[in-house]
Amino acid sequence: MKVLYAQSGGVTSVINASAYGVLDEAKKAGLEIFVGIHGISGVLREKILNVTDRELEGLKTTPSAAFGSCRKKLKSQEDISRLFEIFEKYEIEYFFYNGGNDSMNTAWKLHEEAKKRGFPLKVIGVPKTIDNDLPYTDHCPGYGSAAKYIATAVMEATLDLRSMYVDSTRVFVMEIMGRHAGWLAAAAGLGWLNGIGADIILLPEVPFDKEKFLNKVDETIRRKGYCSIAVSEGIRYPDGFFVSDMGFTDSFGNRQLGGVGFTIAGMIRSELSLKTHVAIPDYLQRSGRHIASKTDVEEAEMVGRTAVKLAVSGVSGVMVTIERKSNEPYKVEYETVGLNKVADQTKYLPDEFHNEFSVTEKFFEYVKPLVEGEIFPTFRNGLPVYTIFREVEEL
């Protein structure tokens, strides 16, 4: 019996922990293991690697997609038929797709096609996204570590700002990923648990009002002398238009966003005449494995292991979910939801987790367990050691 695993969409610092969970659990079950290089884009080109005899332990502490990811939607019957040719050729009986909203749509299409064809294929979605916007799960593997990275970076940058504001930069702006939901930008406020964080947080859930925003910046400067701002890339004007729309779409059909930090900084400079600095962590926030959350790493591995257990028991057409049972002590259980319910859906930051320019105690209660603990990678020559598959560069 043979397994095919693949990674898809924007990466995280713990997606490879899920890969390890899937592949190690499959090995324990006596299954032959294949991985798709660069997701279904690679599978369509028959770029498939047999990893049954590979050493995989290092995946648990390696960021990004060790086997390569992709941003491809299944839009044609030709592509679907080609995938089933590959499944048949390699005698694949279990397919695990590790991704977010769009990836679950792909997994759902393959599950439905398998039923239609009477093809013996079990399809399970393995969740991941730093955006934390998959519905029907309490949270997503990848979010806790990205939130920890953002919270730490904002704390450190704000301390820098606090040191220099008297005759230098008065405003610091960090642009944070998050197209539709503000989960990650909200993490910029988490540092207040330890005394310092973002003074203003701009979320996609709150329509951007330029006048109110500038008044808030001015009030903060007058009160404390400096202002630290976190802005989600997905903030919109009241009419629904993205503040940072770049005018074109990516391969998933999403509007390409970028530069909102500089847009916000420009407003502050022109209207308030304040010296402003902008930082864009970009890839760093999603692949910052050196500061990953222990909770996140362990849960990422467990959703992978759970996916295999479900598939070998005959389950198909579902995504693994995390159900929180309690905060103190923190306890979760692993459940499932139909892929059709998750595909292309978005979970927004609840109203009770934020107000106009900041986050609430409810948000702190929710996110604190997700950033707890550390599992550091091995270090050599003063630097982390990561697992690298050279085959990823040969597509």
* 157 in the same domain as 277: yes
The yes-or-no answer on residue 53 being catalytic is: no
Nearest CA to 153 out of 129, 177, 120, 132 is that of 177
Full domain range(s) for residue 172: 143-287
The answer on 318 and 269 residing in a single domain is no
- 123 occurs within a structural domain: yes
- Final residue in a domain of this structure, among 270, 287, 304: 287
State whether 301 and 280 are in the same domain.
Answer: no
Q: Is there a domain that residue 138 lies in?
A: no
**Ordered per-residue pLDDT tens for the chain, 395 residues:** 999 999 999 999 999 999 999 999 999 999 999 999 999 999 999 999 999 888 899 999 999 999 999 999 888 999 999 999 999 999 999 999 999 999 999 999 999 999 999 999 999 999 999 999 999 999 999 999 999 999 999 999 999 999 999 999 999 999 999 888 999 999 999 999 999 999 999 999 999 999 999 999 999 999 999 999 999 999 999 998 889 775 555 555 555 666 899 999 999 999 999 999 999 999 999 999 999 999 999 999 999 999 999 999 999 999 999 999 999 999 999 999 999 999 888 999 999 999 999 999 999 999 999 999 999 999 999 999 999 998 888 65
Burial class (CB in 10 A: 0-12, 13-18, 19+), 334: middle
Same domain, 147 and 283: yes
What's residue 253's pLDDT? 56
CB 198 within 8 A of CB 229: yes
Binding site, by residue number, is: 10, 101, 129-131, 177-179, 233, 283-286
List residues forming the annotated binding site for Mg(2+): 101
Give yes or no: residues 282 and 297 share one domain. no
Q: Binding site membership for substrate: which residues?
A: 129-131, 177-179, 233, 283-286
User: Which three-class secondary structure state does DSSP give residue 246?
Assistant: strand
Provide the pLDDT for residue 391: 87
Q: Where are the alpha helices (DSSP H) in 246-353?
A: 260-272, 283-287, 294-312, 339-342
Pairing outcome for strands 92-99 and 171-176 = unpaired
Q: What is the CATH number of the domain that holds 266?
A: 3.40.50.460
Q: What is the pLDDT of residue 179?
A: 85
E-only strand ranges, the chain = 2-7, 32-36, 48-50, 92-99, 122-127, 171-176, 200-202, 227-232, 245-249, 255-257, 276-279, 318-327, 330-338, 379-380, 383-384
For residue 339, what is the domain's CATH number? 3.40.50.450
| Domains of the chain: total | 2
Q: Domain ends where: 246, 271, 287?
A: 287
pLDDT given for residue 249 in this prediction: 59
Relative to beta strand 245-249, strand 255-257 is: antiparallel
- In this prediction the pTM is 0.94
Residues 245, 305 share a domain: no
Distance between CA 99 and CA 126 in Å, rounded?
A: 6
Dihedral (Cα; 14, 16, 17, 23), 10-degree rounding: 160
Binding positions for diphosphate are 10
User: CA-to-CA distance for 128 and 300, rounded, in angstroms?
Assistant: 8
- On whether both 248 and 330 belong to a single domain, the answer is no
DSSP readout, 155-184? HHHHHHHHHHTTTS--EEEEEE--SS--HH
278 and 147, same domain (yes or no): yes
74 assigned to some structural domain: yes
Residue 81 placed within a domain: yes
Choosing from 53, 79, 102, 131, the catalytic residue is 131
Same domain, 259 and 298: no
Do 104 and 161 have their domain in common?
no
